[in-house]
Structure 1
Amino acid sequence: MEVWIGRQGERHGPYQEEQVREWLRSGQLSRDDLGWYEGLADWQPLSVLFPQDKPAPANPYAPPPLQQQAASVSFGYAGFWQRFSAWFIDLIILMIPSMIVMYLLGGMQAYDHLREQLQGGADMSAAFRDYAAATETSSLVSLVITFFYYTFFEASKWQATPGKLALRLRVTDVNGQRITLGRSAARNLVRLSALIFGLIPIICYLAVAWTQRKQGLHDLWASTFVLHGTAQEQPPQRPPSGSDHSRFTA
């Protein structure tokens, strides 16, 4: 059974029933949070839906709750090859709109002209300069598409591009939460700048191999992490104390 969670007027999920029960037992979900699954007429508190699942009694020797742990190893930082593989999947996806843009803006004609020049014995450096000038606009449009692709996907409810989703990764802030659109834009400005200078994936991704929390240059700049597990596999963020759960509507 799949269960939706309601908090602060937002709907999260769906999550598997056993996952929700486990989060209730561990205290990662409040029994006052609202829940709904197919067949229910209306949203109900989780204490009503799962009355037997209660947090364990407090243990004075237990470690701090998950909400108080900042970027712990339980998050599982994604390594270099995982992130490189996700980048490669995204690269393949982005080739589709890039090729369409190149075709519409005369890129194919520019390529045919380059080939004719090379076959005719023209100066190679001059031929490539002409090609670069002819495809400058399409290259710029492709850069803009790439920037918005990463920025919006990583700030979305999925917290990941399709490439990251395929490898079950997500982008978070230092507290393991979804990043804002502004932070995502700042993160990807570094990626865009590196791409302009032809340094991707070197400058952004090689740092992942030696930084303690597997952060690339763009992660260090924007204070972000790339973690194992999709956003849909994580409990929704606990709202500030005093929030009125009863205002949630589907």
Structure 2
Amino acid sequence: MNEIQYAGFGKRFLAAFLDGIILVIINIILGFALGGNKNLVALVGILVGWVYYAVQESSPKQATIGKQALGIVVTDLNNQPISFVIATIRHFSKFLSGIILLIGYLMALFTEKKQALHDMLAGTLVVNK
């Protein structure tokens, strides 16, 4: 039986960076399409981010485009695929990870299973494929 190899902080960071670039491009295009209405653009941006992460991480690929590029996937604590609901909880829990001076993200550097706060809250792992 293969031992689970938890994805390191560097891979996770680079995957998030790639996903961030993709989302910025999508949001710029939507901003122009929506006529620059800041409130509407912000709301649509939140919805796009949610759908981007939750749909991809709960798909058979178990990963966003950035995670796929780095060869990592999101699983539950039993190394099984996650549901859309769990992916949604994980996504919105990232706000907590960020709002506390990014400490929630940095926790992945120090926890046994390399989990960030949002992984702990959602009961997920990020592992090498």
Question: TM over 0.5, yes or no?
Answer: yes
Does the residue aligned with 2:126 lie in a helix, a strand or coil? strand
5+ residue gaps in structure 1? 1-65, 67-71, 108-133, 230-250
CA contact (8 A) 2:57 2:74 kept: yes
1:190 to 93, 105, 117: 93
CA distance in 2, matches of 1:141, 1:194: 20
The corresponding residue for 1:214 is 114
CA distance in 2, matches of 1:167, 1:175: 21
Show CA shifts across 1:188-209 (max 9, x none). Answer: 1212x349xx649824421111
Count of aligned pairs: 129
CA distance in 1, matches of 2:54, 2:32: 25
The corresponding residue for 1:81 is 10
| 2:29 maps to 1:100 | yes
In 2 relative to 1, CA 149–204 (structure 1 residues): closer, same or farther, beyond 3 Å?
farther
Show CA shifts across 1:22-78 (max 9, x none). Answer: xxxxxxxxxxxxxxxxxxxxxxxxxxxxxxxxxxxxxxxxxxxx3xxxxx8x21101
CA contact (8 A) 2:108 2:114 kept: yes
Equivalent AA in structure 1 for residue 116 of structure 2:
G
CA contact (8 A) 2:96 2:118 kept: no
In 2 relative to 1, CA 194–144 (structure 1 residues): closer, same or farther, beyond 3 Å?
farther
The corresponding residue for 1:54 is none
In 2 relative to 1, CA 228–201 (structure 1 residues): closer, same or farther, beyond 3 Å?
farther
CA distance in 1, matches of 2:103, 2:25: 25
> What's the % identity of the aligned pairs?
40
Does the residue aligned with 2:17 lie in a helix, a strand or coil? helix
The corresponding residue for 2:46 is 143
Does the residue aligned with 2:79 lie in a helix, a strand or coil? coil
CA contact (8 A) 2:56 2:63 kept: yes
TM-score of the two chains, using structure 1 as the length reference: 0.48
Show CA shifts across 1:178-224 (max 9, x none). Answer: 11111111111212x349xx649824421111111100111000111
Structure 1 segments, 4+ long, off by >4 Å, are none
Q: Higher Cα Rg: structure 1 or 2? A: 1
TM-score of the two chains, using structure 2 as the length reference: 0.90
